[in-house]
Amino acid sequence: MSQVPYLLTPGPLTTSQATKQSMLRDWGSWDSDFNQITRRVCERLLAIVQAAGTHECVPLQGSGTFSVEAAIGTLVPRGGHVLVPQNGAYCQRIARICRYLGRKVTSIDYAENAAVSAADVERALLQDPSITHVALVHCETSAGILNPLDAVAQVVAKHERRLIVDAMSSFGALEIDARRTPFDAVVAASGKCLEGPPGMGFVIVRRAALERCEGNAHSLALDLYDQWVYMQKTTQWRYTPPTHVVAAFDCAITQYLEEGGLAARGARYAHNCRTLIEGMAALGLKSFLPAAIQAPIIVTFHAPDDPHYQFKSFYNAVKALGYILYPGKLTTLETFRVGCMGQLGERGIGGAVEAVGQVLAQLRAAA
């Protein structure tokens, strides 16, 4: 293998050469030039979800989970009660965060191949008036399920509760419009659909909600209110930012806009997803989810029906051909996952299908 393998994962993912090169310069964390980069990134992130007049973008150091925890800890008061519709590992992580933070949590549990139902959410809200917030994962990447964000958001708003959206694997590729979809917060990160490097999360927060959050947070470092107030006063991050990551993320967003923004990025991923599912089906590999709830971000496949199959050796063989797969995250079935995101080179997702086909042929020949 002559090159670094492509990452077929839900993030980190393979970035462009321009994004990589943008990390070669060092930045002063208090320097006005760097502060302008932060400002531009936040303004563009707000614009992607049509939220410039109503919401604030609060960036945060760390992986996306840092920002999810910051959003829950800052926006949900100590006496709050969070409803978590749960159909995968990332929903479960939100519930675990709530328990760590001492926030009351109730879940609605689904099978790993079932989407969240807005009717179920409404039923839960009617049954328990103490629920103050709903936390929804838009794209549950443990299986690749697309949950019905707008329908859930309308129900939550109808019952005058607050919505926190984990849009980690959808932001920038699947439409979220703050003018039509009411939410208090949307949480995402740099190393996903916007194709930056990992290391920076961000929360798009409704300004009126953020203004009421002083004193809620359980953690100084994860206090979105304090971060926002400090940045408003100084234009700077409170604590040392991941300067190279922020600069590279800025570069990646510029490329995103030049590509055509959300419509173009979403179309590219959807094309990748179709090509992947059709190509793998031709190899005898069946995708786990029905098409109606399959997000074009990452696809879960049933493991090959072969007694010689072991994921680790399968993974290593595909890696040797230039592609890094992702292990399955389901609890009931043997699966593996293939991401549709990132800069996948001239051969694109078709090259990955060819590599999997070669490894399957070797596996069958050994039988």
What's the CATH code of the domain at 218?
Answer: 3.40.640.10
pLDDT value of residue 364: 79
Q: Are residues 228 and 332 in the same domain?
A: no
Ranges of residues in the chain with a pLDDT under 70 are 1-2, 367
Distance, CA of 202 to CA of 220 (rounded, Å): 16
Report helix angle 348-365 to 261-282, nearest 10: 20
108 and 22 assigned to the same domain: yes
Domain span including residue 248: 18-258
**For residues 98 and 104, what is the distance between their CA atoms, to the nearest angstrom?**
7
Residue 357 in tokens = 């086909």
Whether residues 92 and 209 fall in one domain: yes
> Would you say residue 1 lies in a domain?
no
Residues 237 and 308 in one domain: no
Domain membership flag for residue 178: yes
- Domain stops at, among 204, 239, 258: 258
Does residue 151 sit in the same domain as residue 42?
yes
Asked whether residue 92 falls in the same domain as residue 240, the answer is yes
pLDDT at 45: 98
Q: Which CATH number is 313's domain given?
A: 3.90.1150.10
Q: Compute the distance between CA of residue 115 and CA of residue 87 in angstroms, rounded to an integer.
A: 7
Cα 273 versus chain centre, distance: 17
pLDDT at 367: 61
Domain boundary pick from 242, 258, 274: 258
Do 192 and 57 lie in one domain? The reply is: yes
Last residue of some domain: 258, 277, 293? Answer: 258
Tell me how many domains the chain contains: 2
CA distance 152 to 337: 27
Q: Is there a single domain that holds both residue 271 and residue 198?
A: no
